[in-house]
Amino acid sequence: MEGEKGSVCVTGGAGYIASWLIMRLLRHGYSVRATVRSDPKFKEDASHLVKLHGAQERLQIFDADLETPESFEPVINGCIGVFHLSHPMDFEGTMSKETIIKTSVEGILGILQACLKYKTVKKVVYTSSIAAASLFDTTKNIKEIDENQWSDAEMIRKLDFIGAAYIASKTLTERAALEFSKEHGLDVVTILPSTIIGPFINSTLPSSFPMTLPLIFGNEEHARFMKTGHFVHIDDVASAQIFLFECSKAVGRHICNKTDVTIQEIANILILKYSEHLLPNDYLSKWEEEKPDHFSSKKLTELGFKFKYGLEEMIDGALQCCQDKGLL
């Protein structure tokens, strides 16, 4: 049955962010066509999606893979919108950086070509990352980062550090999407969330949590990578994605960041409520506290979007969900 607002496609549907977005889209009256990876080596569990309210009537799940972009065509045909969240992930280190970049860029271009082909899609929302606006150039000394800044993907793709492939691929994929939009007149907007935290629908721990909450789930290397952080609640991200899809004035890039913090500030919250779960973190006292850069969401909020959640609610939502699911 067609939802009152029409059908939309959500790629990467089994993931942490996409599954929450699907829940919100169903509540908003949309019908959802979600894609999951078709490769049997990476077969994804979508059982949490079929349990969502409204899923029986308005959710369809399809196999599709970025390595074969044409696999998205039958899913997109007839949709009024596409929310593209699928991204090549390689937690075991078996894919080269160049393979990840190539798969991501060619994947989105194939999806955008399908949108042009079937002519029913009014807008595409691509979920990028603030990593695509993080500069990684200390000589510029910019303390407030907005949508005008881009990470140097060509520099990053030559480096060897945690997340280099992710940052380079997100940056180049977002650029490719916006260039395609300009060239072909297809309405594409991008959202650049900061580190996403909060409750989750999946039955397993989101793969991002060891990096997101290293003092609980990670290690010193993760914590060092997150000495300063930028955070946004999962529900605010999903709401912003839908807001940008429905907002006729939305154009181009939109940073989605609620708060900029230090790992010491996060530790102070965790000590009060979750001290029994904290990993040993004596190393925090050895680090000089750094002031985080500010990622500005001014463009998004000036369109009328309002954030609902603060840092404590993000942490509480995530860890209470972990406790409820027996993961903490």
Exactly one of 102, 122, 123, 170 is catalytic; name it: 170
- DSSP H helix total and E strand total for the chain: 14, 12
**Furthest-apart CA pair in the chain: how many Å?**
59
Tokens 């154009």 appear where? Answer: 251
Between CA 235 and CA 193 the distance in angstroms is: 12
In sequence order, the β-bridge partners of residue 145 are 295
To the query of whether residue 170 is one of the catalytic residues in this protein, the response is yes
Q: Which residues does 76 contact at the CB level (< 8 Å), separation at least 6? A: 9, 82, 111, 114, 115, 118, 121
Between CA 281 and CA 214 the distance in angstroms is: 10
Start-to-end Cα distance in the chain: 39
Q: Are 233 and 200 in contact (CB under 8 A)?
A: no
Residues in the chain: 328
Active site residues: 170
